[in-house]
Structure 1
Amino acid sequence: MTASRRTPEEAPLQKPMEGLLAALDLTDTGARTNEDIFTGPSQWMPLGRVFGGQVLAQSLVAAMRTVPDDRHVHSMHGYFLRPGDVNHPITFSVERIHDGRSFSTRRTQCYQNGLPILSMIASFQDEDEGLEHHIQMPTDIPDPESLPTAADALRHIDHSVARYWASERPFDMRHVPSPIYLTVKGEHTSRQAVWMKTFGKLPDDPDLHRAALAYASDYSIMEPVLRRHGTAWSTPGLKVASLDHAMWWHRFGRVDEWVLYVQDSPSAQGGRGLSTGSIFSRDGLLLATVAQEGMLRVPSNEE
């Protein structure tokens, strides 16, 4: 598998939904001693670095390929080790750590050019019954149809990153109260919400929807930290990088239908920020919980 070399100014070679499905359709390259090997493409990104959500989702797909069909992912913990290069494919090595009566555990190591870029461990479980409750979705959130799209906010900006956010992502993202692409309007709070769904229909495979939800969970999870300090993505010299990512799937939901991602940042310090998120179906069912710590370097006013 090879990837064409592109510059940041060039347009993507695939439509966004085609690119998402192609990225999650890994190639099985065979098993070695104690590990299964898969390869997958890197999606085009305007700055040349692989999107972290893509690698998370692909790592899950690789692990999913090694567990029985009736066991589904319920938790994942991953560490981003190095930035990926969009001009090269990624190799995924899955170690079958444990298979018990109800749970399976897998470790996925992701490599480019022989160097690890992500290390992830995931747990899978048979469907089971037990105690059940969940937190309630906020009731003061406007419907997604009433909110502006990313294209509405960015279509007048002639820049590769703006074009990507506006029309080249496979997910429709609509912010509450407003996006922070260019400016941070209103109160500088550590809370926000984002409605999101894919621009087109996905196949009915439940595991594909779980992987796609992991993909989308990385888009905006660091934004509550930035919003709290009035820092927009367009701030000159701003550097943000995901350090780790944890996710728990509670209930199944389709990601080609609207889901609400409610996010908060409890702390930022030492050049790092922590954000948590709860993902709800449109009718209020809690689907997943997310936590991520990221590196944030903001230039001082004197620079």
Structure 2
Amino acid sequence: MSDAPANPTAQVLDALDLTPDGTTPDLFEGRSLPQPNGRVFGGQVLAQALLAAGRTVEDGRLPHSLHGYFLRAGVVTEPITFAVERLRDGRSFTARHTHALQGGEPILSMIASFQVEQDGVDYADPVPDGIPGPDDVPSALDLLGRIDHPVAKFWSQESAFDVRHVGGSIYLDRAAEVTGQQQVWFRSRGALPDDQLLHRALLAYACDQVMLEPVLRRAGRSWATRGMSIASLDHAMWWHRDVRVDDWLLYVQTSPSAQGGRGLGAARVFTRDGALVASIAQEGMVRFPDA
């Protein structure tokens, strides 16, 4: 039925395996995975920038937050250079600034903070009640697998993540209810090594696929809206606890505001057993031809 890659997870891992520059410290090179629109996927370059920063951090310190700006559209056929600036190495925290460059110009600028494991006050909001489990929700493959279109194939078969929308997706049609609320289950299609930095980077990778969907839902639109222009502008992320993206994770999403051709998406990420592992916010350019 498809000529999709046999192991899309392995392809993502290969793209995230950055090559260090042989002559300049803290400089790395990465490649991009093919995309239907020919542009670099924002989640990919965000994950690569985080991993580049992590390469310069001493063992035992994991990222707890990042803040990034998407500055230009990247081209998938050209390599990306990642230049890491060492901002601070403290007793508890380490800060790094990473520029992702193509043709000498930045396509992403990101600051990430890393921390040693420490004890402290520990609490979290609970997962909302009444959300069906992933086994009771159709996947993108169920919905789009038989559609012979490059975008449908990408979402349903070529993506490294199994994505399942609670209450229905907005791939092809607008949602029956106009709301900024969304819940999505996802996990990687393949097993992953036991590397917490990699899992946190892959969470950043995956979330860019769905972070602006609540904006579309609240605007009463779908991904198939003709003439729509949408792009990530900035991204903020906080990791609260260790996470594994090869186990099911639940996004509980909202869109509190849209204005000026921009929309804000927010998410809390829970494990299947209810632990809050991350919080995310992303603003994007969202423009419609009739608005």
Length-normalised TM-score, structure 1 = 0.93
Query: SS at the partner of 1:284?
Result: coil
Asked if 1:299 corresponds to 2:289, the answer is yes
Please give the per-residue CA displacement for 1:10-30, whole angstroms capped at 9, x wherever unaligned: x77774112110111111114
Please give the per-residue CA displacement for 1:183-215, whole angstroms capped at 9, x wherever unaligned: 123211000011000001000111111110110
- Report the equivalent of 1:117: 107
Q: Partner amino acid for 1:23?
A: A
Q: Partner amino acid for 2:13?
A: L
Asked if 1:17 corresponds to 2:9, the answer is yes
More displaced stretch, 252-261 vs 22-31? 22-31
Match of 2:168 among 162, 178, 181: 178
Is the 1:42–1:50 Cα contact (8 Å) retained in structure 2? Answer: yes
- Report the equivalent of 1:134: 124
- Report the equivalent of 1:235: 225
Asked if 1:264 corresponds to 2:234, the answer is no
Gaps of 5+ in 1: 1-10
Match of 2:21 among 18, 24, 29: 29
Is the 2:175–2:222 Cα contact (8 Å) retained in structure 1? Answer: no
Asked if 1:252 corresponds to 2:252, the answer is no
Match of 2:264 among 271, 274, 277: 274
Query: SS at the partner of 1:291?
Result: strand
> What is the 5 A alignment of 1:36-115?
36-115=26-105
**Between the two proteins, what is the percent identity of the paired residues?**
57
Query: SS at the partner of 1:101?
Result: coil
- CA gap 1:127/1:234 in 2 versus in 1, 3 angstroms: same
Q: Partner amino acid for 2:168?
A: S
Q: Partner amino acid for 1:251?
A: R
Distance across 2 between alignment mates of 1:36 and 1:13: 32
Q: Partner amino acid for 1:272?
A: R
- Report the equivalent of 1:4: none
Query: SS at the partner of 1:193?
Result: strand
Distance across 1 between alignment mates of 2:212 and 2:109: 20
> What is the 5 A alignment of 1:281-296?
281-296=271-286
Q: Partner amino acid for 1:21?
A: L
Is the 2:4–2:157 Cα contact (8 Å) retained in structure 1? Answer: no
Distance across 2 between alignment mates of 1:98 and 1:285: 31
Q: Partner amino acid for 1:28?
A: P
- Report the equivalent of 2:214: 224
More displaced stretch, 153-162 vs 222-231? 153-162
Q: Partner amino acid for 1:143?
A: G
Query: SS at the partner of 2:131?
Result: coil
Q: Partner amino acid for 2:52?
A: A
Distance across 2 between alignment mates of 1:30 and 1:287: 36
Length-normalised TM-score, structure 2 = 0.97
Gaps of 5+ in 2: none
Distance across 1 between alignment mates of 2:110 and 2:145: 36
Q: Partner amino acid for 1:245?
A: H
Is the 1:12–1:44 Cα contact (8 Å) retained in structure 2? Answer: no
Is the 2:212–2:284 Cα contact (8 Å) retained in structure 1? Answer: yes
How far residue 157 of structure 1 moved from its aligned partner, in angstroms, is: 2.1
Query: SS at the partner of 1:111?
Result: strand
Distance across 1 between alignment mates of 2:14 and 2:146: 30
More displaced stretch, 177-186 vs 61-70? 177-186
- Report the equivalent of 2:177: 187
Distance across 2 between alignment mates of 1:217 and 1:229: 20
Distance across 1 between alignment mates of 2:16 and 2:120: 32
Return structure 1 stretches of 4+ with deviation > 4 angstroms: 11-14
Match of 1:163 among 153, 157, 161: 153
Please give the per-residue CA displacement for 1:273-298, whole angstroms capped at 9, x wherever unaligned: 00110000111000000000000011
Distance across 2 between alignment mates of 1:16 and 1:275: 27
- Report the equivalent of 1:3: none
Distance across 1 between alignment mates of 2:182 and 2:276: 17
Distance across 2 between alignment mates of 1:19 and 1:246: 26
